[in-house]
Chains A and B, each alone.
Chain A
Amino acid sequence: MGTFLAPHGLAGGRDRKTRHDTRVTMLSRPLPVAALLGTLLATPAHAKDDLVIGVSSFPSMMHPYINPEVVKQYTLGFALRPVTALNAAWTKECILCAELPTLANGLAKIERHADGTEGLAVTVKMKPDQKWGDGVPVTTADLAFTAKVAHDPLSGFTNNQTWLGVESVDVIDATTAVMHFATVNVLFDRIPNLLPEHIERAVYEKAGNAADYIKATTYNRAPTTPGLYNGPYMVTAYQSGAQIVLEPNPNWSGTKPGFRRIVVRTIENTASLQANLLSGDVDMTPGEGIGLTLDQVLTMRKQQPDRFDYVFRDSTAYLHLDTQLNSPLLADVRVRRALLMALDRKTMSDKLVDGLWTQADAWIAPQDPVYAKGLPHYGYDPAGARALFKQAGWNPGDDGILRDAKGERFVLELRGTTGIRLNELFQAVAQQQLKAVGVEVTIKNEQPRAFFGETLKHRTFTGLAYYSWLFQPSYPARQTLGLDQIPTAANNWGGSNYMDWKNPTVEAALKVTETELDPAKAQVAWTTMQQAYAEELPVLPLFFRPESHVIPKWLKGYVPTGHTNYGTLHGEDWHSE
Chain B
Amino acid sequence: MTRFILRRLMQALIVLLVMSFVIYGLIGLMPGDPLDIMIASNPGATPEVVAHLRAIYGLDQPLMLRYWHWLISALMGDFGFSRIHSQPTLEVLGPALLQTCKLLLASFVVSVVLSFVLGIVAALRPGGIVDSFISLFAFAGISVPVFWLALMMILVFAVNLHWFPASGMANIGDGGFMDQARHLIMPVTTLALANTGGFIRYVRASMIETLRMDHVRTARAKGAGEGRVVLIHAFRNALIPVVTVIALNFGTLFSGALLTETMFAQPGMGKMIYDSILGNDFNLALTGLLFATVVTLLSNLLADLAYGWLDPRIAVR
* Nearest CB on B from A38, distance (A): 10
Q: Tally the A-B contacts, defined by beta carbons under 8 Å.
A: 212
Q: Does A426 contact B (CB under 8 A)?
A: no
Known: A66-B86, A265-B167. A479 touches B159 (CB 8 A): no
- Collect the chain A residues with CB atoms within 8 Å of residue B179's CB: 44
How far is B275's CA from A240's CA once the two chains are assembled, in angstroms?
13
Per-residue CB proximity of A242-259 to B under 8 Å, as 1/0? Answer: 110100000000000000
Partner of B164, one of A12, A68, A269, A496: A12
How far is B167's CA from A17's CA once the two chains are assembled, in angstroms?
23
Instruction: Please state if B43 and A471 are interface contacts (CB–CB under 8 Å).
Output: yes
- Collect the chain A residues with CB atoms within 8 Å of residue B36's CB: 449, 452-453, 456-457
Instruction: Please state if A454 and B162 are interface contacts (CB–CB under 8 Å).
Output: no
Q: Does A34 contact B (CB under 8 A)?
A: no
On chain A, which size bracket covers the interface?
A: 35 or more
Known: A39-B178, A44-B179. A449 touches B31 (CB 8 A): yes
Instruction: Please state if A43 and B172 are interface contacts (CB–CB under 8 Å).
Output: no
Known: A449-B31, A450-B31, A468-B41. A494 touches B47 (CB 8 A): yes
Instruction: Please state if B162 and A12 are interface contacts (CB–CB under 8 Å).
Output: yes
How far is B280's CA from A155's CA once the two chains are assembled, in angstroms?
21
Near A by CB (< 8 A), chain B positions 61-84 give: 81, 84
Instruction: Please state if A240 and B41 are interface contacts (CB–CB under 8 Å).
Output: no
- Collect the chain B residues with CB atoms within 8 Å of residue A422's CB: none
Instruction: Please state if B174 and A44 are interface contacts (CB–CB under 8 Å).
Output: yes
How far is B87's CA from A63's CA once the two chains are assembled, in angstroms?
13
Instruction: Please state if B43 and A453 are interface contacts (CB–CB under 8 Å).
Output: no
Select the stretch in A271-279, A335-343, A385-393, A520-528 that faces chain B: A271-279
Instruction: Please state if B87 and A479 are interface contacts (CB–CB under 8 Å).
Output: no
Instruction: Please state if B37 and A453 are interface contacts (CB–CB under 8 Å).
Output: yes
Q: Does B30 contact A (CB under 8 A)?
A: yes
Instruction: Please state if A275 and B272 are interface contacts (CB–CB under 8 Å).
Output: no
How far is B271's CA from A188's CA once the two chains are assembled, in angstroms?
42
* Nearest CB on A from B298, distance (A): 26
Partner of B86, one of A60, A477, A485, A493: A60
Partner of A153, one of B33, B52, B266, B280: B52
How far is B166's CA from A276's CA once the two chains are assembled, in angstroms?
6
Q: Does B22 contact A (CB under 8 A)?
A: no
Per-residue CB proximity of A489-505 to B under 8 Å, as 1/0? Answer: 00111111000000000
Instruction: Please state if A272 and B38 are interface contacts (CB–CB under 8 Å).
Output: no
Known: A269-B147, A453-B32. A279 touches B166 (CB 8 A): yes
Per-residue CB proximity of A154-169 to B under 8 Å, as 1/0? Answer: 1111111100000000
Partner of B52, one of A154, A237, A261, A457: A154
How far is B30's CA from A67's CA once the two chains are assembled, in angstroms?
21
In the complex, which of the residues B163, B167, B185, B280 has the most CB atoms of chain A within 10 Å of its own CB atom? Answer: B167
How far is B169's CA from A155's CA once the two chains are assembled, in angstroms?
36
Instruction: Please state if B162 and A13 are interface contacts (CB–CB under 8 Å).
Output: yes
Known: A242-B267, A279-B159. A158 touches B45 (CB 8 A): yes
Near B by CB (< 8 A), chain A positions 68-106 give: 68-70
Q: Does A462 contact B (CB under 8 A)?
A: no
* Nearest CB on A from B191, distance (A): 15
How far is B45's CA from A479's CA once the two chains are assembled, in angstroms?
8
Partner of B262, one of A14, A240, A269, A456: A269
Instruction: Please state if B43 and A272 are interface contacts (CB–CB under 8 Å).
Output: no
Q: Does B53 contact A (CB under 8 A)?
A: yes
Per-residue CB proximity of A444-487 to B under 8 Å, as 1/0? Answer: 00011111111011000000000111111001010110000100
Q: Does A402 contact B (CB under 8 A)?
A: no
Near A by CB (< 8 A), chain B positions 36-63 give: 36-53, 56-57
Q: Does A298 contact B (CB under 8 A)?
A: no
* Nearest CB on B from A239, distance (A): 8
How far is B169's CA from A493's CA once the two chains are assembled, in angstroms?
42
Per-residue CB proximity of B150-172 to A under 8 Å, as 1/0? Answer: 11001100110011111111011
Instruction: Please state if B86 and A279 are interface contacts (CB–CB under 8 Å).
Output: no
Q: Does A432 contact B (CB under 8 A)?
A: no
Instruction: Please state if A214 and B151 are interface contacts (CB–CB under 8 Å).
Output: no
Q: Does A360 contact B (CB under 8 A)?
A: no
Partner of A240, one of B37, B47, B174, B267: B267
Q: In this complex, what residue of B is CB-closest to A66?
A: B86
Partner of A237, one of B167, B172, B178: B172
Q: Does B264 contact A (CB under 8 A)?
A: yes
Instruction: Please state if A479 and B43 are interface contacts (CB–CB under 8 Å).
Output: yes
Known: A158-B39, A452-B40. A491 touches B47 (CB 8 A): yes
Partner of B150, one of A272, A447, A467: A272
Instruction: Please state if A161 and B84 are interface contacts (CB–CB under 8 Å).
Output: no
Instruction: Please state if A14 and B162 are interface contacts (CB–CB under 8 Å).
Output: yes
How far is B41's CA from A467's CA once the two chains are assembled, in angstroms?
10
Q: Does B306 contact A (CB under 8 A)?
A: no
Instruction: Please state if B33 and A67 are interface contacts (CB–CB under 8 Å).
Output: no
Q: In this complex, what residue of B is CB-closest to A278?
A: B159
- Collect the chain B residues with CB atoms within 8 Å of residue A319's CB: none
Near A by CB (< 8 A), chain B positions 238-289 give: 262-267, 271-272, 278, 280
- Collect the chain A residues with CB atoms within 8 Å of residue B49's CB: 153, 156-158, 160
- Collect the chain B residues with CB atoms within 8 Å of residue A457's CB: 32-33, 36
- Collect the chain A residues with CB atoms within 8 Å of residue B38's CB: 67-69, 158
- Collect the chain B residues with CB atoms within 8 Å of residue A68's CB: 38-39, 42, 45
* Nearest CB on B from A352, distance (A): 21
Q: Does A220 contact B (CB under 8 A)?
A: yes
Known: A44-B174, A153-B48, A448-B37. A453 touches B31 (CB 8 A): yes
- Collect the chain A residues with CB atoms within 8 Å of residue B43's CB: 469-471, 475, 477, 479-480, 496
How far is B51's CA from A222's CA once the two chains are assembled, in angstroms?
28
Instruction: Please state if A281 and B167 are interface contacts (CB–CB under 8 Å).
Output: yes
Instruction: Please state if B45 and A67 are interface contacts (CB–CB under 8 Å).
Output: no
Q: Does B294 contact A (CB under 8 A)?
A: no
- Collect the chain B residues with CB atoms within 8 Å of residue A263's CB: 172
Instruction: Please state if B265 and A266 are interface contacts (CB–CB under 8 Å).
Output: yes
How far is B96's CA from A456's CA once the two chains are assembled, in angstroms?
34
How far is B194's CA from A212's CA once the two chains are assembled, in angstroms?
44
Q: In this complex, what residue of A is CB-closest to B83?
A: A60
In the complex, which of the residues A153, A154, A156 has the most CB atoms of chain B within 10 Å of its own CB atom? Answer: A156
Near B by CB (< 8 A), chain A positions 265-301 give: 265-269, 271-272, 275-276, 278-282, 289
- Collect the chain A residues with CB atoms within 8 Å of residue B181's CB: 40
Instruction: Please state if B42 and A269 are interface contacts (CB–CB under 8 Å).
Output: no
* Nearest CB on A from B174, distance (A): 6
- Collect the chain B residues with CB atoms within 8 Å of residue A39's CB: 178
Partner of B155, one of A14, A261, A275: A275
Instruction: Please state if A267 and B31 are interface contacts (CB–CB under 8 Å).
Output: no
Instruction: Please state if A479 and B265 are interface contacts (CB–CB under 8 Å).
Output: no
Near B by CB (< 8 A), chain A positions 14-71 give: 14, 18, 39-41, 43-44, 58, 60-61, 63, 66-70
Q: Does B8 contact A (CB under 8 A)?
A: no
Partner of B41, one of A268, A470, A485: A470
* Nearest CB on B from A317, distance (A): 9
Q: Does B217 contact A (CB under 8 A)?
A: no
Q: In this complex, what residue of B is CB-closest to A219?
A: B86
* Nearest CB on A from B187, distance (A): 11
- Collect the chain A residues with CB atoms within 8 Å of residue B127's CB: none
* Nearest CB on A from B267, distance (A): 3
Instruction: Please state if B46 and A494 are interface contacts (CB–CB under 8 Å).
Output: yes
Other contacts beyond A40-B185, A245-B172, A480-B43: 20, CB < 8 A: A12-B163, A44-B171, A68-B42, A69-B38, A153-B49, A156-B53, A157-B49, A159-B44, A159-B45, A239-B95, A242-B267, A265-B265, A276-B265, A278-B155, A281-B158, A448-B37, A449-B280, A453-B32, A454-B32, A477-B43
Q: Give 7 pairs: A residue, B residue, CB < 8 Å, sorted on A.
A: A40-B164, A60-B86, A67-B86, A269-B262, A272-B151, A453-B34, A454-B31
Residues of B whose CB lies within 8 Å of any CB of A are 30-34, 36-53, 56-57, 81, 84-87, 92, 95-96, 147, 150-151, 154-155, 158-159, 162-169, 171-172, 174, 178-179, 181-182, 185, 262-267, 271-272, 278, 280
Closest 3 pairs (CB-CB, A-B) = A494-B47, A453-B32, A241-B267
